[in-house]
Structure 1
Amino acid sequence: MPVIDDGGTALWFGVLGPVQVRRQGAEIDLGPRQQRLILALLLANAGQPVGINDIVDVLWDQRPPPSAVNVVHRYVGAIRRSFEPGLAPRSAGRWLLGDAAGYRMRVDAENLDLLHVRRLAEQARSDEEAGRLTEAMSAYETALGRWRGPCAGISELATFDHLAFGVVDHECADLVRAAATLAVRLDRARSVLSVLRRMAEQRPWDEALQAQLLLALSADGKRAEAITLYQNVRGRLADELGVDPGEELREAFQRVLRQDSAEPGPSPVPGRLRIAGVRATHRVLPAQLPADLPHFTGRDEARHRTLSVVNGQVLARVSMPVLAIDGIPGIGKTSLAIHLSHQLADAHPDGQLYVDLRGFDPGRVALPPAEALHLFLNALGVPDAEIPANLDARSGLYRSVLAGRRILILLDNAHDVEQVRPLLPGAPGCLVLVTSRRRLTGLATAHGARLMTLDVLSADEARAFLIARVGAARTADDPRALDEIVERCGRLPLALAVVAARALTHPDLRLTDVARELRETRGSLDGFSGDDVSSDIRTVFSWSYQRLGVRAARTFRLLSLHPGADVTLSAMAGLAGEPPAEMRALAGELVRTGLITEYRPGRFSTHDLIRAYAQELMRSHDDEPDRDRATRRLVQHHQLAADRLLDPTTPREPPPTVVAPARNAADEAVAWLTADREVLTATVHREIDEGRPATTARACPRAASAARDHPGRAHGSRSTLGPVTFAQGNHPDSVARLRVPRRYGPQPPR
C-alpha cells in the first residue's frame, strides 16, 4: 500500500488483522498490550475521535482504577514516541492528535488498510452499478487481499469483545459476501474462496456467510465439500443453539444439490445484489415519512449544519451519514427530523423508511429492533416467510437489501443506542436520522454519527413560530402580548404550539387574553393543556418522569425547590440528602430522560416549564415537612460551602443529613462566589421572604471575620444581627452584638 513519503517518517498502519505499524517496511515495536489496544481502538475508528471514557472502558471493562485517566495519558505519550522517537515531552506529534472530543489518528486511505479497503469497496460497487463487472471483481479481489484476519487480532489483546472492532469485522464480512456473489456470477469463485473460508470459520453463526461459502464451493467444483459443510453447520446449530438452518442457508443447500450454484441470470439492475432466498425487491419504493408541517419556521442553523454534513459525506462517498438529534421533551426533535427528511428526500430516490421506536412512551413498550427490522423488510418487499427470526440474521438481510441503494431512514424517539444499532445500513448511500431524548454518544463513537442537541428557540424564532401559525394580522395587533406569550412559553416549541392551537380554536380570543390567561396560571402548566395526549405538555413530560427510579424521581421533584437557574452536583446531593457518590448516578438518570441538562461538567439546568411540572409533582407527592427539611439541607450546604471556602481550617462538621462540600483552597472562593452568586442571592432572598433573616445575618459577620474585615464584622453584628436577635427575643445575645467595640465600627474622617 502506498504511503506519503515524509523524509523517512512516513508510517503505514494496519488493523485488518493484528494491529501493525510499519516504517519503510520495518515493523515498529508498539509496546505492551495496553498501548496496542489503545492504538487498535483508534485505528478501528479510522480517524474519528475516540473519547477518553471509551478508551478506559476498553482497557478495564468498566472496572477502571482511580488513576485510569492519567494512565491513558501516559500510554498515549508512549505510543506517540514509538511513532516519532525524538518527539519532545508533551508534544502531540503528527500522528496521534488530541482535542476536546478525544483522541484520533491522522490517517487516510493511503496509510491505513481499513480506509484503503473501504475505497476499493466503493470503487467495486460503483463499477458493478455501471455494469463494469470485470473491473468490479478486480477491485473486490484487491480489497480482500488486504484482509489479514479479525480486526486488530482483538482476541489476543482483550478478554472481551468491543463494539468498534465488531463493526469493522461485520463490514469485512459484508464485503466478502458481496465479492463472493459477483465471483460466482462471473465463474471466478476460486479467487475469493480462500478468504471466504477463513471468514466463515471465524463467523460460524453467520448463516448468510455460510450460505455464500456453499455456493462458492459448488461453483468451484467442490460440491461434496459444500454438502459436508452444510451438514456440519446444521449439526452445530442444532447442538449449540437448538435451531434449524434458516431459509437462506436451506435454499443455498438446495441449489448445491441441484448443481445450480450460478446466479440465475443477470441482476435486474446492474450492481444490485440478488440475495439468496429473497425475491428481487429493488423496485419497491417505500415512502413512509409523516407529513411535514405546513409552516415550518426557525432552526435555520440546525438545518444548515445538517445539509452541510450530509452533502460532505455524500460527495465523499466514504461513509454513511448518521445524524442523531437529542433534546428535552417538547423541544421539537421529531418536527425538525421530519422537515429535514422531506428536504433531503429527492437525494434518496430509492425511498424513505420511518419508524416510531416508542423509546419514551409509557403506554407501550419500546419497539424491539427485531420488530422494526421486520417492518422495514416488509416495506422493502421481503415477505414474512423469508424474514429470519434471529436478530443478527434479520439485520444482515436488511443491510443486504439496502446495499447499493439510496434510502433515507428516520428512526424517531429512540430509547438508546442498542435499539438503533441493528437498524443502521452497512454501506454508504443511505442517510439515517435519529431522534431521542438521550444524547446517543455511542453512535458517534462507533459509527461516526454527528450529534445535535436542540435548545429552545431564539426569541425571534419563537415569534416567527407564533406568527406563522396564528397569522400575521392577528399578531400584529398586540406585539407586547406576543412577546409575553413567547417568554411564558419559555420559547419551547411544544408550549408555543399548544398556545397557538388554543388561539386558532378561539378566533375571537385576542392575544392579550391569551397572555393574561398564562399570567394568571402563576407558573403552573394549566395554560398548556391540550385535548390530544400527544400534545398535552404534562403528558409529554410524564413520559420521561415515569421512566425514573424512585430515588431519581424524588430528586427531580425536590430540585424544584432550588432557587437558582442551575445547580451543582454537590448542591443537588445536599438538597436530596443523597451521598455525593450516588448522586452522580441519579443525575445521570435524570439527564438520560431529558428532564435536566448537564450544560457543563458538574452543573445542571432545566427548562422553566419542566421545573413547573416538578413543582406540581412535589406538592402532590412530598409533604410540607419533607420540603422544609430539603430546603434547610440546601441552605446548610451553602453555609458550609461558604465557611470552608472562606476559612478552610473551620472545624465545623455538618449534620448527618447535610452533604458537605470538600474543603477547598482559599483561592477558589472567588470562583465559587462568581459561579454561584445568583443562586446564593436567590437563597438569601427566599430566607428573608420566608421569615428566616437570621441565617443571612449570622453568615455576614462570619464571612467578614474570615476576611479580617473588622469594620464589616462590627457593622454586621451591630446593624444587622443585633436587631434580628432582639426581634427574636434573644435579648442577651442582642446586647452582646450591639456592644461590639467601637474601634471596629465606622471611623470618623481625618
Structure 2
Amino acid sequence: MRQRTVLAVLLAGAGQPIHPDVLIDRVWGDQRPSQVRNSLHTHVARLRGLLGRLGDDPPRLVRQPAGYLLDPRVATVDLHRFRALVAAAENGGSPADQAGLLRDAIELWRGEPLDGMDGVWVDECRDLWQAEYRDAVVRWAGLEIGLGRGATAVGVLERLAERYPLVEPVIDALMRALHAAERDPEAMDRYERLRRTLADELGVDPGPGLQQLHQSILRGELGAPVVAVAAQIPVGVTGFVGRAAHLDWLQEPAEITVVHGTPGVGKTSLAVRWARAAVDEFPDGQLYVDLHGFSANGAVTSPAAALHGFLEALGVPSQRVPQGLDDRAAMYRSLLAGRRVLVILDNARDAEQVRPLLPGTPTARTVVTSRNHLAGLLVAYAARAIAVDLLDETEATKLVAGRIGADRAAREPEALREMVGRCAGLPLALAVLASRIALRPDAPLAVLAQELCEDGNTLDALASDDPAIDARTVFSWSLHRLSDGGARLFRLLGLQIGNDISVPAAASLAALPMSQTRRLIQELLGAQLLSETRPGRYAMHDLLRAYAGELADEEEGTAACRAASERLLHHYLHVSHAARLRMTPIYHYLTLPDPVPGVQVVPMADYEAAHIWFATEYPVLAAAVGRALDLGLSSVAWRLSWAFSKFEQQRGNWQDRLEGGRLVLDAVVRDGDRTGEAHIRHSLAVAYSRMGQADLARGMAEEACRVQQEIGDLPGEALTLTTLAMMVQRTGEPALSREYYERSIRLNRQAGNPVGEGNALNGMAWLAYTVGNFEEAVEYGHLALEALTNQDFLLGRAATWDTLGCAYHRLGRLENAVDCFQRAIQYFRRGEDPYYLAASHIHLGAVLVDRGDPEGARVEWTQAEQQLSELEHDRVAEVRRRLADLDRPVVPVAAAPFGDNV
C-alpha cells in the first residue's frame, strides 16, 4: 500500500518535483518508521523498476535538487485529464460543447479515488477530488437540462444523490432533471426525503432555493430558483496608487490566489480593488471575511466563525447553521457547488485557517491575503502566489498627494517628501499620515513634518480609527526584511538619547565596530527605517523609535538595555571630556572611569572640532545627564554635566545649567560623591553669579572650596578660588579678591597647572585694572600670557589680551590697546565665544572713539549689537545707546570678569 501511495503522490504532483520530506509526510504521516528514508528509497527504487517496463519510452522517476520528479504525460493520468476537460469547459464554447467536455471528464471516473489507501493526505485528496467530480456532474446536468436532454442526467444524478443525500445543489439538479424527464412525482419524493432527513437529523428545513423549486414544480411554473446572492466586498480604497502589474496577475485564471507581503503594504487594498472591478464575473455572489490572522489583540477569526458568517450571507438562517466545523464546511461547499462565486479571505494566519473556507468547486475563485506565503496552499492546491512590495518614493508621494490635494502637495514638496520618507513606503502608514495632514488644512507641511519627529508623539498618534489597523504591525513586518544585526541595531536605536545619533554613538550603543555599524545603518536606511537628517547624523521618527524601544525591552531584556545605555553614556562622557579639554585645558586634572567595553571614543583634533561637536550634541548631552540619573549613575551624570558646562556658559544657557545642575547635585550628595559635589557646586556658583544671585553664588563657591580642601583637590580648589576672587571683586571686596587670586596662583604652581596659573594671573590683572592700577594690570597680563605660552587655551589668551587692551586704553596707549583688542577678537572668534567676542568689540569701539574714529566704532558696536541680539543678552541695550549717540564722550565699558567664565 505504501508503494502505491508514493506513486499516487508523485502522479498527483502533475510533473512537479516533490521533496522527500513532503513525500514522507503524505505517505506515512505520524506513522512513519524509524528508518523512513530508507523505506522511501526502497519504494522509489521499486517504482523505477516497474516504470521501466512500460514500453519503449516509459515515464522517468528522477531525483532533482527540489525533490523526486515523476515525469509522465499529463494526459495519461486520469486526474489531470479530468481537470483539463473541466477547465476547457469553463473556458467557453457552446453549451453543447461544454456539456460534451464535461461528459468526457465524468466518464473518466472509476469508483473511489485512491481506493485501498489511507492517511491524512489521501483523505484530503479524496474529499477534494470527489467534490470536483460532484461539481462537474452538477454543472453538466444543468447544461444537459438547458439543451433539452435532462433525462440523460437522471441516472448519474441519482447515483450522486445516494452519496450526497444532503447536498442541496445535487438534489436541486436531480429534481430539475426528473422534471425535465416528466417525472414530477419522483422529484417531489426526492424533495420530501431530503426534508425529512434534514428535520430528523439536523432539525432544519431545505434551503430557500430548493423550497422555491419545490413550489414551482407543484404549481407547474418551474423557473430559476431564488438563491441568495452575497455581495460582501468592502468599499475600495480612494486614491489607489500603482499596482498595475499586480492587478493584471490577479486577472489571470487561478482557482486560488495567495496575495502575500509585509503588513500594511496594501494587500487588502489590492485584492478589494481587483474584486470590485471583477464583480460581474461572479454573478452568484462575492464573499469576504477578515480572518484577523495577525490581529494585535490576538482575536483571530476561527474558520468556524467565518463559515457561520458565510452561511448566513448565503441565505442560511442562523438557527440552521450547523454547530460543528466539518458540518458547516460541508454545507458551505454544498451551497457553492457549481456556482460562480468570489471568496476573499483577508489577513489569513496560515493554511490551516484557510482550508475549511475553500469552496472546493472550480467555478469559484478564492483570493487569500496574508503576510505569510501559505506554502501549504501552493503545494496542495496549486495556488498562485502574488508578492506585494513596498511603494517606491514616487508612488508613495503620489498616494499622499492624492489625499491631501495636489495643490497643497506642490507648494511644499520637500516637506512632503520628508514625511513620506518616514513611512517606510508602507501604504497603511502613508494613508494615516495623509489623514493627519488633511485634518489640519491650514498648517504648513513643514510644520507638520517637524511635529512628526518631535518627542511626545506615540505609536497611537498614527493609528487609524479602524481597530484592525495598528502602526506597530506595519513596522514589525518591515523588520522582517532585515538581517539579525540590522534588526538588533534597530531595536537598540530605540534607546538612543536625543533626536538623532552619530555613527560612533550608535556603534557604542550596539558594542560594534564602526565599519560594521555603518553597514547596518545603510541597511536600515535602505529599509526606510532610519533617515539621514544631515551628513553623519541619523534619526527615526517618533513612532519608529517608540516601537524600537518596545522591542528592545521585549527582546533584548532589561540587563542588555541597561548595558547598552551605559555604553552610550560612556561614549558621550569620554568624547565630551576630550572636547572640553580642547576648549579649556585648565580642566586636564579631572579623571574619568575607564570606558566600558564596546564604547567608541572619538578623538578631538582641535578647538574648532570640539566646538562643532558640542554644538551638534548639546541637546543630546543634556538629555544624557537625565538618563544617567534615571539609571542611578550619578558619577557619570556629574562628570558629563561638568564636561559640557563650559559650552553651556558660552551659549548663556544659565537657566539650563541651574535646573540640570541642581538635580545632579542632589544625586551626588545623596551618593556621598565629594568630588562630584565640589565640581557641580562650582558650576552652579558660576551660573548663580551670571543670573545676578550673588549670595547664592558665593555660598555655593565657598562650599565647593571647603569640600575640595577636605578631599585634597589642589587644582579644583585653585579653580574655585579664582571664581571666588571674581565674585568678591564684583561685590567691592578687592583685598579679599586679591587674597583669593594669590592663593589660587600658589596652588596652581604647586599642582603644576600652568593653565590655571595663567587664568589666575589674568584675574589679578583685571583686579588691578578695576582699582586703577593700570601699570600693574599690564604687568600681570604679560605674566599671564607667559604662563599660557604653548598652552592650547584660546579663550584664556583671548581674555588676557582683552584685559591688556583695557589697561592700555586707560594708560592712553591707544595703539597698544587697539592691537590687544584685535588679538582678543581673533582668539574669541576662533574660540566661538559670542558673548566675550561682543565685549571685545565694545572695548575696541571705545578706543576708536577716543582715537577720533567714530565710524570705526560704529562698525565694532554694530557687530557687538548683532552678536548680543542673537544671544538675547540684556547688555544689548547698552550697545544700542552707544550707537544712538556716538557724538557723546564715551567711557570704556567695564568688561565682565574673565576668569573661569572664559
Q: Please give the range of the TM-score, normalised by the shorter of the 2 chains.
A: 0.5 to 0.7
User: 1:398 matched to which residue of 2?
Assistant: 332
CA distance in 2, matches of 1:373, 1:345: 21
Task: From the superposition, tell whether residues 292 and 209 of structure 1 become closer, same or farther in structure 2 (CA, over 3 Å).
Answer: closer
Indicate yes or no: 2:256 matched with 1:322: yes
Aligned position for 2:592: none
Flag the 1:615–1:158 CA change in 2: closer, same or farther, 3 A.
same
Give percent identity, aligned residues only: 36
Partner in structure 2 of residue 484 of structure 1: 418
Partner of 1:40: 8
- Counterparts in 2 of 1:94 and 1:631: CA distance versus 1, 3 Å: farther
Which residue, out of 439, 445, 470, partners 1:511? 445
Q: Aligned equivalents of 1:400 and 1:210: distance in 2?
A: 10
Q: Deviations over 1:58-111 (max 9, x none)?
A: 133257689867876786576456435699xxxx99666887876665567632
Letter in 2 for 1:268: G
Aligned counterpart, 2:289: 355
1:172 aligns with 2:133: yes
Question: Match for residue 148 of structure 1?
Answer: 110
In structure 1, list runs of 5 or more residues that go unmatched: 1-32, 270-279, 314-319, 546-555, 564-574, 576-595, 597-606, 633-684, 694-750
* 1:128-139 equivalent positions in 2, closer than 5 A: none
What do the CA deviations read for 1:18-58 (whole angstroms, capped 9, x no partner)? xxxxxxxxxxxxxxx44432331233344566555432311
- Where do 1:103-122 residues align within 5 Å? 106=71, 110-121=75-86
For residues 446-476 of structure 1, what are the alpha-carbon distances to aligned partners after superposition, in whole Å with 9 as ceiling and x for unaligned? 2221122333222332232233233333333
Equivalent residue letter for 2:336? L
Q: Is the 8 A contact 1:215 1:261 kept in 2?
A: no
SS in 2 for 1:61: helix
User: Is contact 2:88-2:101 (8 Å) kept?
Assistant: yes
Residue aligning to 1:424: 358
CA distance in 1, matches of 2:156, 2:319: 31
Q: Tell me the amino acid that sits aligned with residue 689 of structure 1.
A: V
The alignment status of 1:54 with 2:18, answered yes or no, reads: no
Return closer, same or farther for 1:540/1:410 CA change in 2, 3 Å cut-off.
Answer: same
Following superposition, the deviation at residue 297 of structure 1 comes to 0.8
Residues 377, 383 of structure 2: 8 Å contact kept = yes
CA distance, structure 2, for counterparts of residue 173 and residue 118 of structure 1: 13
Matches within 5 A, 1:171-250: 171-175=132-136, 186-188=150-152, 191-192=155-156, 196=160, 200=163, 243-244=201-202, 247-248=205-206
Query: Secondary structure of 1:110's match?
Result: helix
> Which structure has the larger Rg over C-alpha atoms?
2
Q: Is the 8 A contact 1:360 1:543 kept in 2?
A: no
Aligned to 1:281: 226
1:22 corresponding residue in structure 2? none
How do residues 374-453 of structure 1 correspond to structure 2 at under 5 angstroms? 374-384=308-318, 387-453=321-387
Matches within 5 A, 1:232-271: 243-244=201-202, 247-248=205-206, 268-269=223-224
Separation of aligned partners in 1, 2:221 and 2:108: 28
Where in structure 2 are the equivalents of 1:672-687 lying within 5 Å?
A: none
SS in 2 for 1:457: coil
Tell me whether 1:334 sits opposite 2:268 in the alignment.
Answer: yes
Secondary structure at the aligned position of 2:359 is classed as coil
Choose from 227, 235, 249 the match for 1:305: 249
SS at match of 2:294: coil
Deviation at 1:113, TM superposition (A): 1.0
Rate the CA distance shift 1:78–1:264 in 2: closer, same or farther, 3 A: farther
> Which residue is equivalent to 2:549?
615
Once residues 81 and 130 of structure 2 are traced to their aligned partners in structure 1, the CA distance between those partners, rounded to angstroms, is 15
Cα deviation for residue 434 of structure 1 reads: 1.4
Structure 1: which amino acid aligns with 2:109?
A: W
What's the TM-score, normalizing by structure 2?
Answer: 0.46
* Alignment pair present for 1:460 and 2:425: no
SS of residue paired to 1:163: helix
* CA offset digits 1:520-573 (Å, max 9, x no partner): 45998476355654444137779999xxxxxxxxxx99993599xxxxxxxxxx
C-alpha separation between the residues in 1 aligned to 2:142 and 2:218? 8
C-alpha RMSD over aligned residues = 5.6
CA contact (8 A) 2:429 2:462 kept: yes
Which residue identity does 2:127 align to in structure 1?
G
Contact 1:403 1:426 in 2 (8 A): yes
Map Cα deviations across residues 226-260 of structure 1 (whole Å, 9 max, x no partner): 99x989x979x99xxxx5576459x999x9xx9x9
Residues 557 and 615, structure 1, Cα contact 8 Å, conserved in 2 = no
Q: Name the amino acid aligned to 1:281.
A: V
SS in structure 1 opposite 2:114?
Answer: coil
Distance (whole Å) between structure 2 residues aligned to residue 98 and residue 298 of structure 1: 42
Aligned residue for 1:367, secondary structure, equals coil
Q: Secondary structure of 1:352's match?
A: strand
CA distance in 2, matches of 1:95, 1:631: 63
Normalising to structure 1: TM-score of the pair? 0.54
Which residue matches 1:366?
300
Pairwise mapping of residues 80-99 of structure 1 onto structure 2 (< 5 A)?
A: 82-84=50-52
1:428-450 Cα deviation digits (max 9, x unpaired): 33322111233222221222211
Cα distance in 1 for partners of 2:371, 2:387 equals 9
- Is the CA contact 1:324–1:435 (under 8 Å) kept in the aligned structure 2? yes
2:491 paired residue number: 560
Residues 497-524 of structure 1: per-residue CA shift (max 9 Å, x gap):
2222222222333333343334445998
Bigger shift: residues 64-73 or 325-334: 64-73
CA contact (8 A) 2:169 2:335 kept: no
Distance 2:76 2:90 in 1: 22
Q: 1:346 to 1:141 in 2, by over 3 A?
A: closer
* SS of equivalent residue, structure 1 residue 689: coil
C-alpha distance in structure 1 between counterparts of 2:98 and 2:16, whole Å? 28
SS at match of 1:560: helix
Indicate the residue corresponding to 1:647 in structure 2.
Answer: none
Distance 1:393 1:51 in 2: 33
If each structure's helix is expressed as a fraction of its own residues, which one has the higher value? 2
Q: What pairs up with 1:594-613 in 2 under 5 angstroms?
A: 613=547
Aligned with 1:325: secondary structure? strand
Structure 2 counterpart of 1:468, which letter? G
Q: 1:417 touches 1:443 (CA, 8 Å); kept in 2?
A: yes
| Residue 324 of structure 1, CA deviation | 1.4
From 591, 594, 599, the counterpart of 1:689: 599
Please tell me whether the aligned partners of residues 50 and 102 of structure 1 are also in contact (alpha carbons under 8 angstroms).
yes
Distance verdict in 2 for CA 1:145–1:619, change over 3 Å: closer
C-alpha distance in 1 between matches for 2:53 and 2:565: 59
Residue 292 (str. 1) matches residue 292 (str. 2):
no
* Cα distance in 1, alignment partners of residues 142 and 339 from structure 2: 17
Moved more, 437-446 or 72-81: 72-81
Letter in 1 for 2:282: H
SS for the counterpart of 1:538 is: helix
Change in 2 beyond 3 A, CA 1:399/1:526 = closer
Alpha-carbon offset, residue 296 of structure 1: 0.7
Counterpart AA for 1:456: L
Contact 2:349/2:372 (CA < 8 Å) preserved in 1? yes
Larger RCO of the pair (alpha carbons < 8 Å, separation 6+): 1
Describe the shift of the 1:496–1:140 C-alpha distance in structure 2 as closer, same or farther (beyond 3 A).
Answer: closer
Q: How far apart are the structure 1 equivalents of 2:340 and 2:236?
A: 21
The alignment covers a number of residue pairs equal to: 512
Distance 1:488 1:389 in 2: 48
State the AA in 2 paired with 1:287.
A
